[in-house]
Structure 1
Amino acid sequence: MNATPHGDRSVHLNTAGAGRMSAAVRAVLTEWTRHEDRYGPYDLEERLEGVLHREIHERLAALLGAPSGDTVLCTGAADAFAALVSRLPLGPRDRVWTTPYESAANLTALFALRDRTRCRLEVVPLRRDGDLDLEWMAQHIGDDVALVCVPYVPSGCGIVNPVEDVGRILAPYRCLYAVDASYAVGQLPVDVTRIGCQLLTGDGWRFLRGPQSVGFAYAAPQARHALALHGVVPLPPPDGARVAALNTALAEHAAAAPYQDRQDLGPALRAAVERVPGTELIAPGRTQSGILAFRHEEVPAALLRRGLAARGVAVWKTVAQETPLYLPGRGVVTAVRASVHHDNTAGDIEAFADALLDVVAEARRPRPVPVPRLLSAVLPAPAAAQPHGGVPVARIALPRQRRAGQRHLTLVSSGPSDTIPLEPGA
């Protein structure tokens, strides 16, 4: 195993999967988890009342450009999306738009909505360069479009979708505009007023670097009215200790350098991957974020991830089903996803580049063919068993076969239409 880059310091390029909590955030989570374990959740709720019901909503409002009364806490963006979308009062005459970049979790909720209401589920087409076809949206929008769902940044690739442009197209119409900001909030500016959305969901453990299993949603009055919830959104509440830790993470995020002052390591990350022969970027669109997906023509993604981990570099292996309307149709089964945060350095990218070159070179290096080991020596047979007048007969045993180890199995279709019956977008 090669030495870890930067001595004992590991290189974390998986913030899109799980951001590293700071020492302060981890201390808050530990302290209040111990408190709840000793005194119970009701005492914790009483001790953290100001944080849970006021302070964190003020921080979320500042983060999202939203009134504090329009944010709610939840266990994660996917849970919030499923809970809210499932209650929409749609009918057979309503159309719902999604995109090829939609996540599997949100698609599951949309399929359930379609099955319950008999609405039409349509996919917005892409331009040749991978961007959403805004001209198509402008030509086909109407008051029969009841819901439009767009991920700000998808999980399977780093494209930044033009959510503000989409919002301007939808503004004159009655549709509910939902934006999944799970992979955007914390790495890109998110302003619900500028976007023009009525529903926005996000996770706290990615680029915001809070703890797992705590997220949030913004629901505008129009959305709450459409959901017939009278201003109350019944979402599964997160654990109080996790909320307190996220509150600390939000405070640290607000105190960090503004987005425009942060070093943009995305181009360096892309250049590092392009240096390696045989790599293919999965980077559609004209605008990219700090997330980059790629694959190698010979080396499987799982082997790349494990090899990088052995060298102290943390990345993520993504599978096609995470973005089932986009990746499978392009022949992608698995890929590596790397993501940078503002606490990464240029040295981290250099260490990643060196480690990636090393992993690929090692995987492609020819290995010597092993010589089978005989299980028994070549010995003369006993006299009673020697045929042909006592001529010795050699007994040679076959090499022992190794049991096949467990391997990753991914089931993909030849295209989205094989398994996902959606209305054509174009």
Structure 2
Amino acid sequence: MIHLNTAGQGRMPASVRTVLTECVRVEDRFGPHELEERVGDLVHGEVHHRLERLLNTPDGHTELFTGGAAAYEALVSGLALGRGDRIWTTPYESAAHLATLRSLRDRTRCRIEVVPLRPDGDLDLAWMGAHLDDTVALVSVPHVPASRGIVNPVEEIGRLLAPHRCLYAVDAAYALGQVPVDVARIDCDLLTGDGWRFLRGPRAVGFAYVAPALRDALTRADAGDRAPRATTVVSPVPTTAAVAAFASALVHRAERPAPSYDERAQALRTAVASVAGVELLTPGRHQSAMVAFHHPELSAALIRCGLAERGVAVRKTVADETPLLSLPGAATTALCASVGESTTPADIAEFARALASTVTELRRRTAVTHTRTARIALVGS
């Protein structure tokens, strides 16, 4: 199987699988307390040090959750905003984050505004500069969106926001492990992420970097400043076994130079563009290792299944993942192929052949179906 779904689930290195398997074995045989005694220092201390080194953050500013979306909900939903406050989001915001922001708006009566896009699909930073003032209380930006491969300029946005009172939240779930993520350079107050995509850890482990400014804002909310804080969101704690395996994934990342996906991602885009009828969905000037595409006449689900039958794994995306996005192709289901550390030129070439073969077969089936439908209609008339 050629794995081109790192953005959906990165393949765990052997060392990570070994740790996860051993932890499950110990817990199954001796119980959770024995496992906690064996790996307690790792899951309560060392994992945070490794994560902070990866993100370039001060010590003691990371927290673990079951996923980045859970971290975002637990922290953002508790903010105490007011009627005059504005929240800025973007057309690339995920549905999960939008649900949190809308709940916050409904509770506090603040406003949500969507930063517009330039014609090329990039965020309009000129618009942001012209409309930014101290009524903007929160700005939420995905570094790399779930359904497109664009890399948003989170560092440039951080410099733009720095002189103002707003909190700055960055969703790095699809960025960490494939593009540089440096909290000190981004200058954000909240950065959330998942451990199972390009970081290649197990599922159900996510995390957040929480800056002092955000902690202070949540403390003021607890003290009753402005709108009352929402009922505390209870985020499930990741299992001990999953955290230990995630720590191993961070070691794997630290022991190897950060991979460069640029050439492989470009080769992937070229492979997709070479197949007749398939359209790339690549807004913006800067692209990541995720390549979104669709065929306007063929079902994305059938294309994904056809690729799987030919030994290629990709991910299907739906419009509901980024409901504010209105770029061409955004209202339809699409596919996302994403390279990983082990992706080779031969893998990409095989993917191109599989995609071309799948499209040809599906078009043939469609033509046969249309012919049969026409014959039935003719007989009926």
Question: Are 2:54 and 1:63 aligned?
Answer: yes
Q: 2:192 aligns with which of 181, 188, 201?
A: 201
Q: What letter matches 1:245 in structure 2?
A: A
Partner residue in 2 for 1:222: 213
5 Å matches for 1:113-262? 113-228=104-219, 235-259=235-259
How far has the Cα of 1:298 moved from its partner? 2.0
How far has the Cα of 1:343 moved from its partner? 1.8
Q: Is the 8 A contact 2:139 2:169 kept in 1?
A: yes
How far has the Cα of 1:363 moved from its partner? 1.1
How far has the Cα of 1:69 moved from its partner? 0.4
How far has the Cα of 1:80 moved from its partner? 0.5
Q: What letter matches 1:242 in structure 2?
A: A
Alpha-carbon displacement from aligned partner over 1:372-409 (angstroms, at most 9, x marks no partner): xxxxxxxxxxxxxxxxxxxxxxxxxxxxxxxxxxxxxx
Partner residue in 1 for 2:334: 335
Partner residue in 2 for 1:280: 279
State how far apart, in whole Å, the 2-side matches of 1:143 and 1:46 are.
Answer: 49
How far has the Cα of 1:85 moved from its partner? 0.7
Taking only aligned residues, the RMSD between alpha carbons, in angstroms, comes to 2.0
State how far apart, in whole Å, the 2-side matches of 1:103 and 1:20 are.
Answer: 23
Alpha-carbon displacement from aligned partner over 1:307-328 (angstroms, at most 9, x marks no partner): 0000100001101000100058
Kindly tell me: are residues 122 and 73 of structure 1, through their superposed partners in 2, closer, same or farther at Cα, counting changes over 3 Å?
same
Give the TM-score of the pair, scaled to structure 2.
Answer: 0.91
Identity of aligned residues (%): 59
Partner residue in 1 for 2:229: none
State how far apart, in whole Å, the 1-side matches of 2:263 and 2:280 are.
Answer: 18
Question: Are 2:89 and 1:90 aligned?
Answer: no
State how far apart, in whole Å, the 2-side matches of 1:323 and 1:370 are.
Answer: 37
State how far apart, in whole Å, the 1-side matches of 2:17 and 2:303 are.
Answer: 30
How far has the Cα of 1:41 moved from its partner? 2.3
State how far apart, in whole Å, the 1-side matches of 2:10 and 2:330 are.
Answer: 29
SS of residue matched to 1:48: helix
How far has the Cα of 1:97 moved from its partner? 0.4
Question: Are 2:42 and 1:37 aligned?
Answer: no
How far has the Cα of 1:143 moved from its partner? 1.0
SS of residue matched to 1:336: strand
Partner residue in 2 for 1:72: 63
How far has the Cα of 1:259 moved from its partner? 4.0
More helix, by proportion? 2
State how far apart, in whole Å, the 2-side matches of 1:291 and 1:32 are.
Answer: 32
Give the TM-score of the pair, scaled to structure 1.
Answer: 0.81
Kindly tell me: are residues 90 and 68 of structure 1, through their superposed partners in 2, closer, same or farther at Cα, counting changes over 3 Å?
same
Q: Is the 8 A contact 1:263 1:342 kept in 2?
A: no
Alpha-carbon displacement from aligned partner over 1:201-253 (angstroms, at most 9, x marks no partner): 000000001111001100011111111189xx974310000001011111111
Q: Which of structures 1 and 2 has the bigger CA Rg?
A: 1
SS of residue matched to 2:60: helix
SS of residue matched to 1:68: coil
Q: Is the 8 A contact 2:262 2:289 kept in 1?
A: no
Partner residue in 1 for 2:94: 103
Kindly tell me: are residues 70 and 26 of structure 1, through their superposed partners in 2, closer, same or farther at Cα, counting changes over 3 Å?
same
State how far apart, in whole Å, the 1-side matches of 2:210 and 2:50 are.
Answer: 16
Partner residue in 2 for 1:291: 290
5 Å matches for 1:48-59? 48-59=39-50
Gaps of 5+ in 1: 1-9, 372-426
